[in-house]
Amino acid sequence: MHKATALLHHHSSSKEVSLEVIEQEKHFVAQFADGSHTQLPVDRLKEDPQNKQLGGSSRGLNVTDFDLLKTLGTGTFARVWLVRLKNPAEEDRDKFFALKVLRKVDVIKLKQVDHVNHERSVLADVAGYPFITTLITSFSDHDSLYMLLDYCPGGEVFTYLRKAKRFDETAARFYAAEIVVILEFLHEREGVAYRDLKPENLLLDADGHIKLVDFGFAKKIGNRETYTLCGTPEYLAPEVIQSKGHTTAVDWWALGILIYEFLTGYPPFWNQNPIEIYKQIVSKPVHFPDSPSISPEAKDIIRQFCTVNRSHRLGNMAGRAESVKAHPFFHGVNWDDVYYRKHRGPIIPPLRHKGDATCFDDYPDDKAHRDAYTHDLQRKWDNHFKDF
Amino acid sequence: MPPQTPSLSNIYTDAINSLTQEVLKEQPRDIIQYCANYFNKQLEIERTRSLYQSTISTAAMASSTFPGRMGTNANPFGSGLDSGSNIGITKVAEEDENDTITSPTTPSFGFKGNSTFGDFGGDGAGGPPSSWKAPSGDGFPAHYGMGRRTSVSAESLNPTASLNENWSPPFHQKTEDQLARLKRSISTNFLFSHLDDEQSNQVLGALVEKPIPAKGIKVITQGDQGDFFYVVEKGIFEVFKNNSGVLQPGADGLGMKVATIESGGSFGELALMYGAPRAATVVSTEASSTLWALDRITFRRILMDSTFQRRRLYESFLEEVPLLFTLDKYERSKVADALDTQKYPAGTTMIKEGDAGEAFYLLESGECEAYKAGKEEPVMYYKKGDYFGELALLNDAPRAASVISKTEVKVATLGKDGFQRLLGPVESIMRRTKYETGVEDIDPLTK
């Protein structure tokens, strides 16, 4: 066990790794299949010896060590697969993972090299935190980068929200509270801005708790501001649109949009034309529909999050996340219970077995045509991917 | 593994077979009309049924690498930029945008893309996804797309100063008239309206003239990746949209004419945010027209560099203020973030002796002097980097002197309520560590 983990921290481009090492790594990986269910308080997560082993670069693992079972999600340069170890030991037969595959050539073409490296390093830093997808290990081959993550079988909150049309305030509060805890952790412990909060990036685990996935835009910024425009149009904060430099405060803005969308079924600023969305975001106050009726507390917290001037934005003022927790919308919430997941979620995914992927939508196969990762590209860029 | 969707030919055969049965049963007189009605009705039923079962991502509709809102974009100026060429002879004037500069993106692990709603744990609804619009009348916005939303991202940029590089924005000389017109054109645009004078001047200077020598030149081409924003200086341009989302070959390939842009108008602003496919094609209608062009990287760099420099400047100013020594880095950066920049002409009384103190000032540029009643000569002189009025953050004591600007000045200012909003009650901040000099001893006008 110890031997295996020591090896996992050393990246080697050479594939001359003994079978024994690979077997050790497989064994190591298998123990994390079900994600983290730690009961450690948040300030002691890093002490957990198991957590320390997570997020390293693998020495010998290869995509061929896994069976790729089903696509769980796609992006322009990434695809996430439900996978299982190939030829699993009897006790590992039921252990499933999510394998995120990024094609180097697409990452380069789309200028996402920095973002991909931020993603890997932030995920490695937070591995073991119960509400965030766990990076178990990463590896690469000639064409692609791989991140092996725990499998969160419940599917996206997005899917449930669209199907239910909207959530009641109890359900919205449950998810919002878990997100407050996540943002408190990311901002105040890790100095990380997440930058892509939306229902599509929230998965449910078997008990209906949230796991935040897709750290493609997450970045460790500490107290500083950052400048690269990224996010999802409906969820972009005004300061991002206007290139004013942005901070972790963008996530609180997005949480306001998210709660609105939970309660109404659609985001507050919308138009078919993205430019019109952006104009609304920078200039219009949030408007609430007559129906469904939304409580004054919910309206207030949404308005306070969606405050254009971030020096007046809830979550970004004195007290930070603590002041969010104290807002009347969360009245009665026991925040320790939230962190320790004392209560099951309002939606329990109907799962029949561990590798059940029916909560995920179906995705079409890969495009046939792919650009090649040429020798020139490799010479120029492979050094940028050395952390994988 | 991918779902087993019925092949197109099966759907087709089934549909035709049921139609045939219906026709045989009903024996309609107007066959064509009957068939048309039949399919319309089938369509309605099918769409209603799939309402809660399926959704389509906008990604599926875009042919480009950037699955944006192509095809649903109502505003021809909304989407990105540019380039491409169809008309050989006019190619000179068409932009040679470099695709590698820009990066639209759809990130990563987002479970984005085309999707079908699974039941809550059921086996997933089969069938092809249909373009699902939320029912209007249920409070949903008209045409609201219920699909997964694609993330967007610009190329990552780092402030010049942090890279120890030397970059200054390009500068293209313009006449007074041209500048005034350009200013008018962009001043109300939400991407420019918040710029300060310095940023605004740099942006105006960076706009580069693009002569369009002939009629019929496609300045931007629908579906192409966009990197430039344009202002019309001279000439009239027409905007066309093809419903496919992309310019098509052939005579009708441009699609419908949806707008005309004249002198002073502008288009392509989305390209200043990130690279996205152009939502329309814009064509010149006159010989010798002129445009001003601005690319995204230049625009964003101007804004980023000036914001970055100002932030660092404020932070270094704040480090010098003894009253704020007890703040940690996070708190100081919060204060720097909240500072409000203001300009005053020479001779402005910014602080009046005897008034209750409300705000604290950092002098960013220019000079000020402090006067006390009954004294002719100024008692204090302030220059760039100096500060005054900071005791207002602590208490309501009346101002001990007046401060008057000697030249035009630029100040960064923060009020007491802002300070408390960001950092909590002042008393608790002061209690943390003993304020070295002793607050009571400080005359706000000495340092």
Q: How far apart are CA A325 and CA B79, in angstroms?
A: 39
Confidence check: pLDDT of B172 > 70: yes
Interval A346-366: pLDDT, tens:
999 999 888 899 999 898 887
Contact across the interface for B107 and A196, Cβ inside 8 Å: yes
Q: ipTM score here?
A: 0.89
CATH number at residue A146: 3.30.200.20
CA dist., res. B23 & res. A345, Å (int):
52
* Same domain for A244 and A306: yes
Q: How far is A168 from chain B (nearest CA, A)?
A: 16
> Rounded CA gap, B282 and B259, in Å?
9
Give dist(CA B236, CA A321) in Å, integer: 53
A131 and A233, same domain (yes or no): no
Arithmetic mean of pLDDT, B330-338:
91
Which of A142-151, B163-172, B315-324, B437-446 is least confident?
A: B437-446
A193 found inside a domain: yes
Taking CA–CA distances from B328, the nearest residue in chain A reads A223
Choosing among B53, B73, B108, B167, which should be mutated to test the A contact, i.e. which has the most A CBs within 10 A? B108
Q: Which of B55, B112, B138 sits opposite A73 (nearest CB)?
A: B112
pLDDT at A159 over 60: yes
Q: Does A257 map to a domain?
A: yes
A53 φ, ψ (degrees, to nearest 5): -80, -15
Q: What is the pLDDT at residue B109?
A: 30
Catalytic residue IDs of A: 196
User: Helix/strand/coil (H, E, C) string of chain B?
Assistant: CCCCCCCHHHHHHHHHHHHHHHHHHHCCCCHHHHHHHHHHHHHHHHHHHHHHCEECCHHHHCCCCCCCCCCCCCCCCCCCECCCCCCHHHHHHCCCCCHHHCCCCCCCCCCECCEECCCCCCCCCCCCCCCCECCCCCCCCCCCECCCCCCEECCCCCCHHHHCCCCCCCCCCCCHHHHHHHHHHHHCCCCCCCCCHHHHHHHHHHCEEEEECCCCCEEECCCCECCEEEEEEECCEEEEECCCCCCCCCCCCCCEEEEEECCCCEECHHHHCCCCECCCEEEECCCCEEEEEEEHHHHHHHHHHHHHHHHHHHHHHHHCCHHHCCCCHHHHHHHHHHCEEEEECCCCEEECCCCECCEEEEEEECCEEEECCCCCCCCEEECCCCEECHHHHCCCCECCCEEEECCCEEEEEEEHHHHHHHHCCHHHHHHHCCCCCCHHHCCCCCC
Could you tell me if A178 and A307 lie in one domain?
A: yes
Q: For residue A244, tell me if it sits in a domain.
A: yes
Q: Are residue A165 and residue A288 in the same domain, yes or no?
A: yes
- Sheet of B237-241: strand order equals B218-220, B281-284, B237-241, B256-261
End-to-end Cα spacing for chain A: 22
Token couple for B88: 């050989």
Reply yes or no on whether the pLDDT at A27 is more than 90.
Answer: no
Residues A42 and A124 grouped into a single domain: yes
Inspect the interface and report whether the beta carbons of A229 and B194 lie closer than 8 Å.
no
> Are residues A281 and A163 part of one domain?
yes
**Minimum mean pLDDT range among A130-139, A243-252, B17-26:** B17-26
pLDDT value for B160: 78
Residue B346 scores a pLDDT above 90:
yes
- Say if residues B233 and B266 touch (Cβ distance below 8 Å): no
Question: Is residue A190 in some structural domain?
Answer: yes
Task: Examine the domain organization and report whether A132 and A264 are in the same domain.
Answer: no
Which of B55, B106, B299 shows the shortest C-beta gap to A75? B106
Interface of B with A in 259-288 (CB under 8 A): 269-270, 273-274, 276, 279
Tell which of A69, A71, A76 to mutate to test the B interface (max B CBs under 10 Å).
Answer: A76
Q: Check residue B106 and give its pLDDT.
A: 32
Q: Into how many domains does chain A fold?
A: 2
Query: Do A141 and A187 share a domain, yes or no?
Result: no
Residue A345 maps to a domain: no
Which chain B residues are closer than 8 Å to A228 by Cβ?
153-157
Q: Return the pLDDT at A154.
A: 94
| A267 inside domain | yes
Please give the pLDDT value at position B15.
Answer: 79
Cα-based angle B274, B275, B280 (whole degrees, multiple of 5): 115
A100 is in an annotated binding site: yes
Give the separation between CA B108 and CA A76, rounded to whole angstroms. 7
- CB-CB under 8 Å, B152 with A273: no
Tens of pLDDT along B23-50?
Answer: 887 777 778 877 887 777 777 666 545 4
* Chain center to CA of B152: 11
pLDDT of residue A355: 87
Q: Would you say A221 and A277 are in contact if contact means Cβ atoms under 8 Å apart? A: no
**Residue A259 and residue A167: Cα distance in Å, rounded?**
9
Same domain flag for A103 and A7: yes
Strands A135-140 and A56-57, by their bridges, are: parallel
Task: Reply yes or no on whether the pLDDT at A368 is more than 80.
Answer: no
Taking an 8 Å cut-off on Cβ atoms, the answer to whether B111 and A360 are in contact is yes
Lowest mean pLDDT among B116-130, B219-233, B352-366: B116-130
Which pLDDT band holds residue A56 (cuts at 50, 70, 90)?
A: confident
- State residue B51's pLDDT score: 44
A–B interface: beta-carbon pairs under 8 A: 274
Any chain A CB within 8 A of the CB of B153?
A: yes
| Helix (H) / strand (E) containing A28 | helix A19-30
| B114 min Cα distance to partner chain A (Å) | 6
**Is A263 within the bounds of a domain?**
yes
> Residue B12: its pLDDT value, please?
76
Query: According to the model, what pLDDT value does residue B348 have?
Result: 95
Q: Predicted confidence band at A135 (pLDDT cuts at 50, 70, 90)? A: very high
Instruction: Give the pLDDT of residue B57.
Output: 33
Which residue in chain A is spatially nearest to B105 when comparing CA positions?
Answer: A110
User: For a pLDDT cut of 70, what percent of chain A falls above it?
Assistant: 94
Half-sphere exposure of B67 (CA within 13 A, CB side): 22
Confidence of residue B277 (pLDDT cuts 50, 70, 90): very high
Residue A46's domain comprises: 2-153+354-375
Q: What is the pLDDT of residue B35?
A: 81
CATH number at residue A165: 1.10.510.10
Same domain (yes/no): A201, A317: yes
Q: How many Å apart are CA B443 and CA B388, to the nearest integer? A: 10
B357 touches A at CB < 8 Å: no
d(CA B160, CA B169): 11
Is residue A273 situated within a structural domain?
A: yes
Residue B431 is predicted with a pLDDT of 63
Confidence of residue A145 (pLDDT cuts 50, 70, 90): very high
- Give yes or no for residue A47 having a pLDDT over 90: no
Average pLDDT score over chain B? 76
**Are the beta carbons of B190 and B229 closer than 8 angstroms?**
no
Say which range, A34-38, A70-74, B45-49, B170-174, has the weakest mean pLDDT. Answer: B45-49
**What pLDDT sits at residue B4?**
52
> Closest Cα partner for A256 from A235, A270, A239, A230?
A235
The model's confidence at residue B248, banded by pLDDT at 50, 70 and 90, is very high
Span of A144-158, A163-177, B6-20, B200-214 with lowest mean pLDDT: B6-20
Helices (H), A237-273: 238-241, 249-264
Q: Which residues of A173-212 are buried (b: 16+ CB within 10 A; e: fewer)?
A: bbbbbbbbbbbbbbbeebbbbbbbbbbbbbbbbbebbbbb
Q: For residue A1, is pLDDT > 90?
A: no
Mean pLDDT for the stretch of residues B393-402: 85
Mutation target to probe the A interface, by most A beta carbons within 10 A, among B114, B153, B243 is: B153
Identify the residue whose tokens are 């580069």.
B208
Looking at the complex, report in whole angstroms how far the Cα of residue B111 sits from the nearest Cα belonging to chain A.
Answer: 4
Q: How far is CA B414 from the centre of its chain?
A: 27
Burial status of residue A145 (CB atoms within 10 A of its CB: 0-12, 13-18, 19 or more): buried
Whether residue A248 is found in the same domain as residue A324: yes
pLDDT of A208 reads 95
Subunit contact B2:A317, Cβ cutoff 8 A: no
pLDDT at A197: 98
User: Which residues does chain A have within 8 Å of residue B68's beta carbon, measured at their own beta carbons?
Assistant: 274
Q: Quick one: CA dihedral A179, A183, A189, A195, positive or negative? A: positive
pLDDT at residue A48 is higher than 50: yes
Q: Residue A180 corresponds to which tokens in the numbers above? A: 């407050």
Poorest-confidence range of A159-168, B258-267, B388-397? B388-397
Output DSSP code: residue A287.
Answer: -
Q: Write down the residue that tokens 């507050």 correspond to.
A: A268
Averaged pLDDT of chain A: 90
pLDDT for position B47: 57
Going by pLDDT thresholds of 50, 70 and 90, the confidence category of residue B138 is low
CA distance B83 to chain A (A): 18
Model confidence at B101: pLDDT above 70: no
CA dihedral A136, A138, A139, A145 (to 10 degrees): 130
On whether both A366 and A300 belong to a single domain, the answer is no
